[in-house]
A and B are shown apart, each in its own frame.
Chain A
Amino acid sequence: MLIELKKFGVTLTSRDDGREALAAFKPSLNSLGPNEKIEISFDGVNTLSPSWADEFIIGLNKLFPSRLKLKPSDNLSVKASLDLLEKIHQIKF
């Protein structure tokens, strides 16, 4: 399954919005196959903050451990946010 974050907005900064995005998207995850990977694309996103990503990406990772694959991005806020979350949660995407 491919999740395009731009479909949630282009300025993804608040924790509340990240939590709401995951809650709204959860029903779409029902169609996920038992071993199907989840790819996340950052294309088209202007700004990503660690608070939004903590709720949505880390939230997804908790629901589907080891099944997340983050597509590479040149966006500096995406890189910086993911760097911090990897340190906080001691994980490597």
Chain B
Amino acid sequence: MNHNKYFSIPYPILSISQAADMLDVNIQTLRRWDKSGKLKAERFSTDGSGPRFYHESVFTDFLMDNHKYCQKMAERWSVAKTPIQLPEAFYCPDRSVFQARLSRFELLLKGNLLFNQIYSLIVAMAGEIGNNSFDHNLGNWPDVIGVFLGYNLTQRTIILADRGQGILTTLKRFRPELNNHADALKVAFTEIVSGRAPESRGNGLKFVKQVVQENNFSLFFQTGDATLFLNNKSAVSPVKTGGHFLPGCSAKLNF
């Protein structure tokens, strides 16, 4: 079965109903945005009549500038039973695409005076979170392979999400006593996995914790029904969320 048809846009244009579905707004809202100039649509005919459509690049720019919708899209993609389509610019189907986009993000940060002292920490954290998704789900992705990656330098935010197995399933392989997502999340962020453990990997989130707590950063992380908020004043105390169940992982990092 080819899952690709579910999560990448097959053509460089979007119908108004596809755009509405991706943004989780109704078509009337998009018509209003078109008139106001918030998100300009194109028309198939030169006289301005005919159905509206969007060039994917215009749609992507809108999402880059309006991070609220980008964040909402990541959340919907990661929790939906049937994955929604994602614009290609936010979807990393494999590690090489993720690495390329991470390098571009690094260049943007490094070239910005606001971030050129701390950029390497931000990129290293994003790298650990994103690569964790690929490492821990290799051969075991439940449906869609890959990672959502979106960022906004004005909002000083990066979002990563996957539709993987989640931390509890991964950790249960060598910590079978774990029986809930909050405990698994706490272990992932606090317990150092020894080099003698079944696998040496698994310390990326400890690195993220260390960097967030030692700097003026914050992190919101969810897996399953557990969420964790972390900053330089908070301890690692995951709580059970009353919101959507997220089978994989999602992270929002503010820097």
Contact = CB atoms under 8 A, between A and B. Distances in A.
Interface string B186-199: 00000011110000
Given A13-B99, A89-B195, A47 B131 contact: no
A80 B211 contact: yes
Contacts of B201: 15, 51, 54
Interface in A21-79: 46-51, 54, 58, 75-78
A81 B124 contact: yes
Contact of A48 (B119, B124, B134, B203): B124
Given A11-B106, A13-B131, A15-B131, A47 B203 contact: no
A37 to B, nearest CB: 23
A13 B192 contact: no
B207 A50 contact: yes
Interface of A: 10-11, 13-17, 46-51, 54, 58, 75-78, 80-81, 83-84, 87-89
Contact of A15 (B110, B117, B135, B207): B135
A1 B194 CA distance: 30
Interface string B103-144: 100100010000001111101100110010011000000000
B200 A54 contact: yes
B206 A84 contact: yes
A47 B127 contact: yes
Given A54-B203, A75-B120, A76-B121, A49 B128 contact: yes
B114 to A, nearest CB: 15
Given A13-B127, A80-B210, 11 more contacts: A11-B99, A11-B127, A46-B120, A50-B128, A50-B203, A50-B204, A75-B120, A76-B117, A80-B121, A80-B211, A80-B214
Given A13-B99, A14-B99, A47 B123 contact: yes
A84 B95 contact: no
CB-CB nearest 3 A-B residue pairs: A13-B127, A77-B120, A77-B124
A89 to B, nearest CB: 6
Nearest to A89: B195
A11 B100 CA distance: 10
Contact of A88 (B95, B120, B195): B195
A88 B192 contact: yes
Contacts of B99: 11, 13-14, 17
A53 B84 CA distance: 36
A46 B203 contact: no
Contacts of A77: 120-121, 123-124
Nearest to B110: A46
A51 B131 contact: yes
A49 B120 CA distance: 9
Nearest to B100: A11
A72 to B, nearest CB: 15
A39 B79 CA distance: 47
Contacts of A49: 124, 127-128, 131, 204, 207
Interface in B188-240: 192-195, 200-201, 203-204, 206-207, 210-211, 214
A88 B200 CA distance: 10
Given A11-B99, A13-B127, A14-B131, A48 B120 contact: yes
